[in-house]
Amino acid sequence: TDLNDIIRQFEDIAFDRFIFTKADETSSFGTMLNLICQHGIGAGYITTGQDVPDDIEPAEAKTVVDYILGDGTR
Is residue 19 within 8 A of residue 6, CB to CB? The reply is no
pTM (2 d.p.): 0.80
Q: What is the pLDDT of residue 53?
A: 87
In whole angstroms, what is the distance from residue 56 CA to residue 44 CA?
10
Each residue of 25-56: pLDDT tens digit? 988 888 899 999 999 999 999 999 989 889 99
Q: Average pLDDT for residues 5-14, to the nearest whole number?
A: 90
In whole angstroms, what is the distance from residue 6 CA to residue 29 CA?
18
pLDDT band for position 71 (cuts 50, 70, 90)? low
Q: Which residue has the higher pLDDT, 11 or 59?
A: 59
β-bridge partners, 45 = 19, 58
Q: What is the pLDDT of residue 34?
A: 92
Cα–Cα–Cα angle for 57, 55, 69, rounded to 5 degrees: 55
